[in-house]
Amino acid sequence: MVSRKIYLALFCGLVFGSAGCQKFLDAKPEKTLTIPSTLADFQALLDNYPIFAPDPHEGEHSDDDHYLNNDDWESLYSDYERKIYTWEKEYQFDSEANSWSNTYRTIYFCNTVLEGLQKINRNPKNSAEWDHLKGQALYYRGKRLLQASFIWTPAYDKGTANSDLGLPLRFSADFNIKSKRASVEETYLQLLNDLKSSIQLLPINPVSKVRPSKPACYALLSRAYLSMRDYVNAGLYADSCLQLNHELIDYNDLDGTEINPLKRFNTEVIAENEIGEGQALNFTRGRVSPDLYNMYDQDDLRKEMLFSNNPDGTHGFRARLVGTTGLFGGTATNEVYLNRAESYARAGKTTLALNDLNKLLLKRWRKNKFNPISGLDAKEVLDLILKERRKELLFRGIRWVDLKRLNKEGRNIVLTRNLNNKIYRLEPNDLRYTLLIPQDVITRSGMQQNPR
Amino acid sequence: MKHLFILSLLLSWMPAALGQTRINGTILSFHDKIPLKKVSIKIKNNKTTLFSDDKGNFSLMYTGKPINLEISYIGYESQEVTVISPSTTPLIILLKEDIFNLKEVMISTGYQQLPKERATGSFTLIDQNTLREQVSTNILDRLEGVANSVVADRNTSAANGRLMIRGLSTIQGPKEPLIILDNFPYEGNTENINPNDVASITILKDAAAASIWGARAGNGVIVITTKKGKLNQKLSVDFNINQTLTDKPDLFYIPQISSSDFIDVETMLYNKGYYKNDINSPLQPALSPVVELLIKQAAASGLEKEKIGDQLNALKRIDVRDEFNKYFYRQSLNQQYAVNLNGGSEIMSWLVSSGYDRNISNLNAPYDRLSLRVENMIKPTKQLELNIGITYTNSKSENGRPEYGSITGHKNSLAPYTRFTDDNGNPLALPKLIKPAHALNIGKGKLLDWQYYPLEDYKHNTTSNIQNSLLANIGLRYKLPFGISTDIRYQYQRQQTTDNTVNDQESYRSRNLVNTYTQISKTGEAIYKIPMGGILEYRNQLMQAHNLRGQLNVDKSWNDHSVSAIAGAEFRETNQGSNGLTLYGYNHDLLSSGLVDYTQEYPSIINGSKQFIPPGPPVRYGLTRFVSLFSNAAYTYKNKYTFSISGRRDASNLFGLNTNDKWNPLWSSGLSWEISKEPFYKSSFLSYLKLRLTYGFSGNVDPSKSAVTTILYQALSPYTLTPYARFNKFANPELKWETNRMINLGIDFSFAANRVNGSIEYYQKKGGNLFGTELLDYTSGIGSTIMKNVASTKGHGVDLELNSLNINQDFKWRTNLNISFNQDRITEYYLSNREASVFLTKGVSGLKGKPTYAVFAYKWAGLDPQTGEPRGYLNNEISKNYNLLVGSGVKIEDLKYYGSAIPTLFGSIGNTFSYKNLSLTFRMMYKFGYYFRRNSINYSSLYSQGMGHADFSKRWKQPGDENTTNVPAYMYPFSGQMQTLYSFGESLVERGDHIRLHYVQLSYQLNKENFRRLPMKTIHLSFNINNMGILWSANKEKIDPDFIGEKSIPNPRSYSFGLRTNF
């Protein structure tokens, strides 16, 4: 060792001086490459929107907002999409290019940032940026866990959450740490904690709606508590969100002749995420369920603005807000209004609940056609709100978790598919409401698969 | 054989004594008059043999009768001499250098030149004459057929093949051998080397030969030595012309589905409603011509219906390959000219050469290369030697017509019944994106024609690639006393590559882009977000390499000892940068262009999805640096025993390695013993025998591996207008360089009066710290695989090289035989995952005891006799449970193992027959002991992408077919898992063994000696046929195992005429 160093020093000393040699070898092999270590590096990672955009799409592909006819189902390229549609019992996922991989890739980004921040001194000069970074990373880790738990864990149930299988929780960028499934309780505890810790660190008005913000965080917390059927907290967080952002679009201002009258980053959008449409939910295959389409009144402008008309008389969904053919998966004020209304209704505050609902519907109906609703009892209000929720929050990845929680309450919604004259049924609270974790993940990690 | 009658000069001075007289003689080389030692002198009269001494002298007794002597020596033409009278002056016998036979060769390692005789390592030298047996633009293309233990692997890597020396030394690291041009690694494109400048190529095969190149020598080293001028030599001029004509490639080798079958498939899919999604789509995507006809047919009735049926039948007779042959392919013509002038005085030598190549490819794509080289050596004093060399190469290639596979219509495929013209020869449009009527509709008539015309389109796209390469070097050698000398060498290499792509306004690409970004306002006006006009894409790449070397040499002999040693240090830096720009609205005649706004997203006129205007390429810059210390020493005792030792250390600027860890020592050592020089050695049959033994290490560096997590900055995020980044490499702290240990045992020999010579070598290789892929639980967030130093491999092999002169009369027959046997297997692989899919799809296996590249397959139980569905084995029982048959639960143990995916026994045989100045050479190449997986019908891609395979016609159709075919029945929908079972099943694995006739050369040489009126010294005429094709192949499918890719076609046969002259 010693002789080696002497040899090296001697040689380098002769040619460059030892420091020179060191310098010669310290040059970066690629200029665009760097070891992530500065606040700017971490922001650059968090601004990689293609990584952060996708929300799991399996819920939307499994729910009853749409249906596929037999020809369209058969013509799907991948077995996987066909299997998801029919709630196949086994082997749903066939490759690593799935939402599980997307979910945990984002979490890796977040963990890298969170670990990296520990190594940077927070001082008065950088504190604003430092906090903002931490907030973004916590928000996204929480958000990913929430969206993934809708797919891969059973609906939250206070009674069994401690024993129900949750998600693996990862807090480190060290990929050698073995994945272990936490309970549903632990999963929710963690995601709520991540989201709550981020609130104070996030701005009210982000630079772009692809970045998180305080209202986005409140909206997500409201969604999370709703999925836990903790309606009080769902209402509180919805209220906090609406304090900061309560804009609604008046559909009377939209131009129905445009390909898509609803625009990207419109005023209702709080934060954007995307749900992959795959082949099943492209413009022409996934048709709007007729019972859903028929729920809209003729004077309800949503009937015009949200849907496209197919030559065969069926309807497609055109309100794709993400600028591509993908579906919108973020948070928007209409969801938050409905969350708050439901919370009020369940607490028996019918007036407040109807206030929110009327405010929303007024902007949805043709001018002067909408008569504000009043004079209903608490149950009627709740039923009405849930009906309006179904009509307002469609093709957004929300229906699946709503189905899970509502069936928990005995709403008894049965999903059916009809293909080749074969009827597929998904009974309330069926184990298949919890999708299978991709089999290769189970094989490689030894984690427990969801029961069937 | 030449008969030379030597008459004594003093014939008239005949001594009276008729008793015994001693005759003394000296054997010298014909050209440089150097005494030749150990030359075999056979006295035919009494069948005894004696040898010349160190000074080339010999003596024999003259008994009064004429003595017939046969004098032979390795590397020289044998001579018969008849001594008819005694003489008192010594007899001088001049032996002519035999240009076809192996000489006492100098081999080059890039650091020093040494006689092969004194080397302990394993070297293969390919001389100029062997290289000249083939004609090619790139000199390295000629190696596979002639170099010992070199094989091009075309199955597990790129289609044009990757040269491998003695098999693989790595699993996941870089696999290319290191290319050295004269003294330094050649970083540029080897196509820029003028093949006529090459004097010889040395292949460094074992550790002792290659380890001087240290951390980059793990895959073997190829040293290209260029021609040099010589001191004290008159002006010599060489001129060389080659014209090569190449046949059209055989498109019918591609197993394309027949038009008739394909139309049947489309009809079935149409009836099943597969196209409904597209037909009903408001976006009105383009449909295939057959689907359009089927829609019309469904709506029509009576006569009209029949007419459409006729049209469909007419399409069934079209084969798009005929169209390609007719409109796009032609014979290619390659022209090569080279001139070389050299000469030298007492204090300097010089060489000027130039080469010009002009190739017109099978697709009419021109390629021009001009190279110019100047070499100068000045020796102003006895001590000082100065070398200066400059090589400049300029090449330019342009695109030609589109090749098979490059024209695609809708869904990125091309129907086999596609026609490029209508019956009157007018260009036909190919459905591509949306229906023309719909385009008219959405664009309110304001859009450019949105149709794609394959026959016209290439005329509107010009791509050119210009490479300027400069190689300059300077070397200074100063001789100190005691056999010591110092060298300083510097080389600068610069390669600038410019790519220019112009799609003019008429091109589909420009029209498509302009149309997509057009917005139609409410009032029906068109706003063009991308200005009308063409698109210019300009890319510029600059590679520069600096090499600086200081070296101390010792070359000293005293008494029985001789020492030859070098030691030195070098610095290397290679940097590579690229940039470019993209211009829209470009007009090539005016060089004008338009402006676009990159900061906003615009809705596509087709589906409203928003996108940014594609920006130009990012700016890139990369840099690798190495600092190395090296030393090599050889000590020879009594010209018989040689001991060699070499060592090297490299350090580099790779990410994340501490300087201390960067220094990676690699060393080797060797022994050789020339047994035939021992006094006890008496065999006159085996006249030369040398044993060699070496042991050592070389390394393999992968600059892309990193020990820390790195991120790669990309462009600005359009949303936040801040830069965004992605992960590039994930922390891998235990990362080490791969090492390759090799033991080599070699025997060099020559026997039968030096008419047979060659070498046989046995080697053992052991690769350590090899990178391997570990499958990851992707919950970790970094994807599903990670690279680690996890594996070691063991390989061993035998290389035999034999040169023989079988017949040595006026008619001569020479043979050069290369046999290489190479086997490798994984000895350790510390990975837990044994999922079968990895071993099937990734190509590289990581299974202990199996070759690095191995062929495995799902066990195949034939087709279901009832349904024609593929069946496999699950727990030894026939099964159709595809979830389990191909799922992640299938382990490597469940697969059938075939063998290596790369040849384990390979080589070549060259035979040259010559009569006087006429000679004919045949070279055969063979590869044995390996397997490959052939392509077949893939129903998933047939339905979704319209990609069919001729095997479709062999599919199972009715019960009973399962006895004659393994091609699954045609089902819809076809499950991807079923496809996986078939595609990776046993029925598609074939043996790769084959023998091919690589080339034939007929040549004729005219010399001044034979033709006194010849204005020049020599004229050499040759005629070559290359790629003669397969002579024998183990597979019954008529597949050339070197061309198994989906659209790959064997290299077509080519014919070359060559003229070489020297004056």
CA distance B811 to B1055: 26
The side-by-side arrangement of strands in the sheet containing B21-29 is: B57-62, B21-29, B91-95
Does A30 lie at the interface with B, CB-CB under 8 angstroms? Answer: yes
pLDDT at B296 over 90: yes
Nearest chain A residue to B785 by CA distance is: A96
Q: Inform me whether the pLDDT recorded for B251 exceeds 80.
A: yes
- Model confidence over A28-50: pLDDT tens digits? 777 777 888 899 999 999 999 99
Residue B15 structure tokens: 């001594």
For a pLDDT cut of 90, what percent of chain A falls above it?
74
Q: What is the pLDDT of residue B830?
A: 62
Q: What is the pLDDT of residue A290?
A: 94
pLDDT in tens, B135-159: 888 888 888 888 888 888 776 655 4
Name the H helices within A26-89: 39-46, 49-52, 58-62, 70-74, 79-85
Angle between helix A350-362 and helix A333-346 axes, rounded to 10 deg: 160
CA dihedral B982, B985, B987, B988 (to 10 degrees): 80
Burial of residue A351 (CB within 10 Å: 0-12, 13-18, 19+) is: exposed
Positions of E strands within A367-446: 415-419, 422-426
Tell me the CA distances in angstroms from B894 to B842, B891, B985, one per residue in order.
17, 5, 12
Q: What confidence category does residue A94 fall into, taking pLDDT thresholds of 50, 70 and 90?
A: low
Q: What is the mean pLDDT of chain B?
A: 86
Contacts of A282 in chain B (CB under 8 A): 277
Measured CA to CA, the distance from residue B216 to residue B174 in angstroms comes to: 9
Angle at the Cα of B504 (from B503 to B509), degrees rounded to 5? 50
* Full-model pTM: 0.81
Output the pLDDT for position B373.
Answer: 96
Q: Which residues of B touch A24 (CB under 8 A)?
A: 571, 625, 627, 653
Per-residue model confidence (pLDDT) at position B104: 59
Joined tokens for residue B966: 């393994």
Partner residue opposite B712 with nearest CB, options A32, A71, A94: A32
Mean pLDDT of chain A, nearest integer: 91
Residue A352 region, left (φ>0) first, then alpha (ψ -120 to 50), else beta? alpha
B396 closest CA partner among B365, B361, B367: B367
Give the CA angle between residues B258, B262, B264 to the nearest 5°: 120
Answer yes or no: is pLDDT of B848 > 70. yes
Give the C-alpha separation, B124 to B102, whole Å.
11
- Using a CB-CB cut-off of 8 Å, the residues of chain A touching B973 are 74-76, 82
Confidence grade of residue B17 (pLDDT, cut at 50, 70, 90): very low
Contact A283 B282 (CB under 8 A): yes
Residue A130 has pLDDT above 90, yes or no: yes
Distance CA A189, CA A183 (A): 10
Q: Does the structure show a pLDDT above 80 at B33?
A: no
pLDDT level of residue B649 (50, 70, 90 thresholds): confident
Q: What is the pLDDT of residue B735?
A: 66
Span B851-861, average pLDDT: 89
Contact status of A175 with chain B (Cβ, < 8 Å): yes
pLDDT at residue B100, as a whole number: 43
Low-confidence winner among A293-297, B764-768, B871-875 (lowest mean pLDDT): B764-768
Name the residue with higher pLDDT: B130 or B84.
B130
CB pair distance less than 8 Å for B776 and A72: no
Q: What is the pLDDT of residue B102?
A: 44
CB A393 within 8 A of CB A339: no
Determine contact: A78 vs chain B, CB below 8 A.
Answer: yes
Span B849-858, average pLDDT: 86
Interval B620-638 mean pLDDT: 89
**Residues B663, A312: C-beta atoms closer than 8 Å:** no
Position A2 scores a pLDDT of: 41
Q: Is A181 in contact with A168 (CB distance < 8 Å)?
A: yes
Residue A7 has pLDDT above 60, yes or no: no
- Token pair belonging to A257: 């002749």
Confidence at residue B666, expressed as pLDDT on a 0 to 100 scale = 83
Digit-coded pLDDT (tens) for B903-936: 999 999 999 999 988 999 999 999 999 999 999 9
The pLDDT of residue A381 is above 50 = yes
Return the percentage of chain A with pLDDT > 70, whole number.
94
B339 against A23, higher pLDDT: B339
pLDDT for A13 beyond 50:
no
Q: Is residue A19 scored above 70 in pLDDT?
A: no
Residue of B nearest to A257 (CA): B522
Q: Do A11 and B889 touch (CB under 8 A)?
A: no
Average pLDDT of the segment spanning B992-998 = 94
Does the CB of A5 have a partner CB in chain B at under 8 Å?
yes
Contact A24 B625 (CB under 8 A): yes
Least-confidence region, from B34-43, B567-576, B987-996: B34-43
Say if residue B660's pLDDT is above 80: no
Per-residue pLDDT band at B700 (split at 50, 70, 90): confident
Give the range with max mean pLDDT: A109-113, A443-447, B839-843.
A109-113
* Cβ separation A25–B659 shorter than 8 A: yes
Q: What pLDDT score was predicted for residue B974?
A: 82
Counting one residue from chain A and one from chain B, the pairs whose CB atoms sit within 8 A come to 245
Cα→Cα distances B491→A25, B110, B180, B550, Å: 20, 13, 12, 12
DSSP string, B485-541: EEEEEEEEEEEEEEEEEEE-TTSHHHHHHHHHTEEE-TTS-EEESS-SSEEEEEEEE
Instruction: Assess contact for A116 and A44: CB atoms under 8 A.
Output: no
Q: Is the pLDDT of residue A438 over 50?
A: yes
* pLDDT score of B26: 86
% residues pLDDT > 70 (chain B): 93
**Confidence at B164, pLDDT banded by 50, 70, 90:** confident
Q: Which of residues 338-377 of A touch B (CB under 8 A)?
A: none
Give the pLDDT score at A96.
65
pLDDT at residue number B715: 78
Confidence of residue B545 (pLDDT cuts 50, 70, 90): very high
pLDDT of residue B598: 85
- Residue carrying structure tokens 């510097």: B490
Cα distance between residue A297 and residue A262, in whole Å? 19
* Complete domains list, chain A, with CATH: 36-253+327-445 (1.25.40.390)
User: Could you check whether the bond before residue B973 is cis, i.e. omega within 30 degrees of 0?
Assistant: yes
Smallest Cβ–Cβ distance between A25 and the set B273, B652, B719 belongs to: B652
Closest to A47 in 3D by CA, of A212, A213, A266: A212
Provide the angle, in degrees to the nearest 10, between the axes of the packed helices A231-244 and A214-227: 160
Q: What are the Cα distances from residue B924, in Å, to B183, B927, B1036?
A: 33, 10, 21
A1, pLDDT greater than 70: no
